[in-house]
Chains A and B, each alone.
Chain A
Amino acid sequence: MDIERTTGLIFNIQRYSIHDGPGIRTLVFLKGCPLRCEWCANPESQLGHPEIIVVPNRCIGCGKCIAICPEKAITSTPIGNVINRSRCTVCGICVEHCFAEALQIMGTTKTAYDVLQDIEGDDIFYQHSGGGVTISGGEPFTQAKFTFSLLKLCKERGLNTAVETSGFTSYEIIEACLPYTDLFLYDIKHLDCDIHKQHTGVENSLIIDNARRLAAKGANLTVRLPVIPGFNDSEENLVNTVEFVKEIGVTEMHLLPYHRFGEQKYRQLGREYKLTIMPPEQERMESILKMVERRGVNVKVGGN
Chain B
Amino acid sequence: MEPTLRVKSLRKRLRSFPQAICVERAVLITESYRETEGEPMVIRRAKALSRILEKMSIYIGDGELIVGNQASAPNKAPVFPETGARWVAEQLDSFATRTVNRFLVTEEEKKVLRDILTYWKEKTVLEVAPKLLPDETREIFELTYPVISPTLFLRNCVGHLVPNYAAILKRGFGGIRTEVQEKMESLDPSMPENISKLQFYRAVLIICDAVSHFAQRYADLAEQLASTEDDESRKKELKDIAEICRWVPENPARTFREALQAFWFLQLIIHIETDGLAESPGRFDQYLYPYFSKDLAEGKLTLEEAQELLDCVWIKMNEVIKLSDIPPAAKYFGGVTMSENLILGGINEDGEDVTNELSYLCLEADRHIMLPQPALSIRLHSRTPERFLLKVVELIKTGGGKPAIFNDEIIIPSLMSDGIPLKDARNYAIVGCVEPTPSDNTNGWTNAAMFNLGKCLELALHNGVCQLSGKRIGLETGDAKTFTSFDQVMSAFKKQVSYFIKHMVTMLNTWDKVHAELIPTPFVSSFMDDCIAKGQDLAEGGARFNFTGPQGIGLADVADSLTAIKTLVFEKKLLSMDQLIDALSNDFEGQEDVRLLLRNKAPKYGNAETTPDLLAREVGLFYCREVAQYNNPRGGKYRPGLYPVASNVPLGGVVGALPNGRKKGIPLADGISPVHGCDVKGPTAVLRSVSRVEHAAATNGTLLNIKFHPSALKSENDMKKLISLLRSFCSLKLMHIQFNVVSADTLRMAQLDPENNRDLMVRVAGYSAMFVDLDKKLQDDIIERTEHML
Q: Which residue from A62, A125, A256, A263 sits with its C-beta under 8 Å from B724? A: A125
Residues in B630-665 with C-beta less than 8 Å from chain A: none
CB contact under 8 A between A24 and B685, given known A55-B773, A304-B717: no
B residues 748-790 with Cβ under 8 Å of A?
754, 763-769, 773-775, 778
Q: Which residues from A are CB-within-8-Å of B724?
A: 23-24, 125, 128-131
Stretch at the interface among B38-46, B78-86, B340-348, B591-599: B591-599
Assuming A60-B596, A99-B596, is B775 touching A264 (CB within 8 A)? yes
Name the residue on B nearest A261 (C-beta).
B767
Complex interface: chain B residues within 8 A of A100 (CB) = 596, 600
Interface string of B661-699 (1 = CB under 8 A from A): 000000000000000000001111100100000000000
Q: Is the CB of B721 within 8 A of A129?
A: yes
**Contact flags (1/0) for A113-139 with B, using CB distance below 8 Å?**
000000001101101111100000000
Residues of B within 8 A of A122 (CB): 684, 688
CA distance in complex: A174, B707 (Å): 39
A contact residues around B681 at 8 Å (CB):
15
Q: How far is the CB of A132 from chain B (nearest CB, A)?
A: 12
- Please indicate the chain A residues that have their CB under 8 angstroms from the CB of B775 in the complex: 57, 264
Residues of B within 8 A of A256 (CB): 765-766
Within A255-269, which residues are at the interface with B (CB < 8 Å)? 256-257, 259-261, 263-264
Given contacts A15-B684, A124-B732, A264-B778, contact A24 B764 (CB under 8 A): no
Q: Is B625 an interface residue (CB 8 A)?
A: no
Residues of A within 8 A of B765 (CB): 256-257, 259, 261, 279, 302
CA distance A14 to B769 in the complex (A): 10
- Contact call B728/A41, Cβ cutoff below 8 A: no
- In the bound assembly, the distance between CA atoms of A99 and B775 in angstroms comes to 21
CB-CB under 8 A for A16 and B601, given A129-B724, A264-B774, A264-B775: no
B25 at interface (Cβ–Cβ under 8 A)?
Answer: no
Instruction: Given the known inter-chain contacts A24-B725, A128-B724, please indicate yes or no for A99 contacting B766, CB distance below 8 A.
Output: no
Known: A24-B684, A121-B688, A125-B684. A19 touches B597 (CB 8 A): no
Within the assembled complex, what's the spacing in Å between the Cα atoms of A64 and B608? Answer: 31
In the complex, are the beta carbons of A99 and B600 less than 8 A apart? yes
Complex-state Cα separation, A64 to B766, whole angstroms: 37
In the complex the two chains form, what is the Cα distance from A55 to B775 in whole Å? 10
Please pick, from B712, B718, B727, the residue contacting A128 in the complex, using a CB distance under 8 A.
B727
Query: In angstroms, how far is the closest chain B Cβ from the Cβ of A185?
Result: 11
B731 contacts the other chain (CB 8 A): yes
Give the residues in chain A near B763, CB-CB below 8 Å.
Answer: 18-19
Contact with B along A21-47 (1 / 0, CB 8 A): 001100000000000000001000000
Contact B597 A99 (CB under 8 A): yes
Report the nearest A residue to B608, measured CB to CB: A121
- Beta-carbon contacts of A263-290 to B below 8 Å, as 1s and 0s? 1100000000000000100000000000
Closest beta carbon of chain B to A226's beta carbon, Å: 10
> Measured between alpha carbons, how far is A191 from B717 in the docked complex, in Å?
30
Does B764 contact A259, Cβ atoms closer than 8 Å?
yes
The complex places the Cα of A125 from the Cα of B724 at a distance, in Å, of 7
Interface residues of B in 719-759 (CB under 8 A from A): 720-721, 724-725, 727-728, 731-732, 754
In the complex, how many residues of chain A place their beta carbon closer than 8 angstroms to a beta carbon of chain B? 38
Q: Is A101 an interface residue (CB 8 A)?
A: yes
Min CB–CB distance A55 → chain B (angstroms): 7
Residue A229 at the chain B interface, CB threshold 8 Å: no
Closest to A302 in B: B766
- Assembly CA distance A99 to B732 (angstroms): 34
> B228 to chain A: closest CB distance in Å?
56
Chain B residues with CB below 8 A from A14, complex form: 682, 768
Alpha-carbon distance A304/B766, docked complex (angstroms): 9
Please report the C-alpha to C-alpha distance between residue A62 and residue B593 in the assembled complex, in whole angstroms.
8
Interface residues of A in 78-135 (CB under 8 A from B): 99-101, 121-122, 124-125, 127-131
* Residue A17 interfacial (CB < 8 Å): yes
Residue A48 lies at the interface, judged by CB distance under 8 Å to chain B: no
Known: A60-B592, A264-B775, A264-B778. A124 touches B728 (CB 8 A): yes
Best-surrounded residue of B597, B718, B724 (most CB of chain A within 10 A):
B724
Residue in contact with B766 in the complex, picked from A23, A101, A129, A303, CB distance below 8 Å: A303
Question: How far does the alpha carbon of A302 sit from the alpha carbon of B774 in the complex, in Å?
Answer: 21
| CB nearest to B681 among chain A residues | A15
Q: How far is the CA of A142 from the CA of B434 in the complex (A)?
A: 51
Selected contact of A261 from candidates B682, B684, B764, CB within 8 Å: B764
How many angstroms between the C-alpha atoms of A19 and B709 in the bound complex? Answer: 14
Residues of B within 8 A of A17 (CB): 768
Shortest distance between the CB of B148 and any CB in chain A (Å):
35
Q: Give B607 Cβ to nearest chain A Cβ, in Å.
A: 10
Distance (Å) between the CB of A118 and the closest chain B CB? 9
Which A residues are in CB contact (< 8 Å) with B682? Answer: 14-16
Q: B767 and A259: CB pair below 8 A?
A: yes
Q: A16, B684: Cβ atoms under 8 Å?
A: yes
**Could you tell me if A125 and B717 are in contact, using CB atoms closer than 8 angstroms?**
no
- Residues in B neighbouring A121, C-beta threshold 8 A: 608, 688
Q: Mark B580-606, 1 if CB is under 8 A from A, else 0.
A: 000000000000110011011100000
**Which of A64, A264, A302 has the largest count of B CB atoms less than 10 A from its CB?**
A302
Report the bound CA distance from A302 to B768 in whole Å.
12
Cβ contacts A to B, 24 pairs, < 8 Å:
A14-B682, A14-B768, A15-B685, A18-B721, A19-B763, A23-B721, A24-B684, A24-B724, A24-B728, A57-B754, A57-B775, A99-B593, A99-B601, A122-B684, A122-B688, A124-B728, A124-B732, A125-B724, A127-B728, A128-B724, A129-B720, A129-B724, A261-B764, A261-B765
Q: Which residues of B contact A (CB under 8 A)?
A: 592-593, 596-597, 599-601, 608, 681-685, 688, 712, 715, 717-718, 720-721, 724-725, 727-728, 731-732, 754, 763-769, 773-775, 778
| Closest 6 A/B residue pairs (Cβ) | A129-B724, A99-B596, A128-B727, A16-B682, A19-B766, A302-B766
